Structure 1
Amino acid sequence: MSDVERQYWAVGCLSGEVYNGGFDQYFYNSSGATYSAAVDGLKAMGATTSLLLLQQAKQMIFGFTDVPEETRARRSIQMSVESDALQQRLDELDKQFWKDPDNLAMRSEKFAISHGLVRAE
């Protein structure tokens, strides 16, 4: 995949996982490996609030370290920091993301059209 395709796909993975089970699920599942591309995609789409929420969730779980691409490594870290207080803070970020402050579907569609990934109807 090209960088643009990877960014578009990663933002779609992020959105699907967070709407389905929250940021905790996003990082726990294989989609968490797309973190860097999701960051780049959100930046390219101008989805600044969604980007901030993603970065806050990352910080809560992984601190200042990079998000491991390997699922087993991400899960190990998540399990080591898991707590009720962390889950409550992540739940609040989930709720903010679900409000869709950036109108992410519209931004994703415009991004895809502008980069020739799909054709406008």
Structure 2
Amino acid sequence: METDEQRQAFEDYSFEVTGQLFDRHGGKLERLSEKDQEVVRIWRLEADMYNGGFLQYFCNWGYENFEKTQQILSKLGAVQSLAIITEYEKSIAAVKNDERIKELWDIPKYLDEYLPEEQQERLNELDELYWENPDDLQLLCFNYYLKENA
């Protein structure tokens, strides 16, 4: 199986597992096996990072999901992706304690009050660095979750 086919195989698998999350388990992540929960968390990361960047990912899925995803990236050896999302979260952390923050989607509303322009530019750079796919995450995931079955 060629590298592109391996990437596609994991992407297809992640969509299948995420579909099962809703079709069979009513969206309740805890009803999936630990392995399948990890696959869903990677799917969330990839889908939202490539759609709207880290803020979309973080605001959609929350801090607990973020922390568990950090652990998964570490286990996979996705060092650069882990560094990118960790730096981004640390940059926005100051906003989380603002009394106006009632839900995670309030963070983007007030971020510019906390971060100088150069830090905001750095956040854009971090999204772009992720989009360059520095760890080839889909291939790492194929090798970790599917290789023995390929």
TM-score range, shorter chain: 0.7 to 0.9
Aligned: 1:32 with 2:65: no
Q: 1:87 aligns with which of 101, 109, 120?
A: 120
Which string of whole-angstrom CA distances, capped at 9 and with x for unpartnered residues, describes residues 76-105 of structure 1? 344333357243221100111111110111
Q: Which residue matches 1:47? A: 78
Please give the root-mean-square deviation of Cα atoms over the aligned residues, in Å.
Answer: 2.3
Gaps of 5+ in 2: 1-31, 97-101
Structural mapping, 1:6-85, within 5 Å: 6-28=37-59, 30-32=60-62, 34-63=65-94, 73-82=103-112, 85=117
CA contact (8 A) 1:24 1:90 kept: no
CA contact (8 A) 1:18 1:25 kept: yes
Q: Which residue matches 2:135? A: 102
Residue 92 of structure 1 aligns to which amino acid in structure 2? E
Q: Secondary structure at the match of 1:101?
A: coil
- Higher helix share goes to which structure? 2
Residue 78 of structure 2 aligns to which amino acid in structure 1? A
Q: Which residue matches 1:112? A: 145
CA distance in 2, matches of 1:74, 1:26: 10
Which string of whole-angstrom CA distances, capped at 9 and with x for unpartnered residues, describes residues 17-75 of structure 1? 111111121122x2335212211111111101000001011101115x7xxxxxx5322
TM-score scaled by length of structure 1: 0.75
User: How many residues are paired up?
Assistant: 109
Relative to 1, partners in 2 of residues 1:38 and 1:50: Cα closer, same or farther, differing over 3 Å? same
Gaps of 5+ in 1: 66-71
Relative to 1, partners in 2 of residues 1:96 and 1:23: Cα closer, same or farther, differing over 3 Å? same
Structure with bigger gyration radius:
2
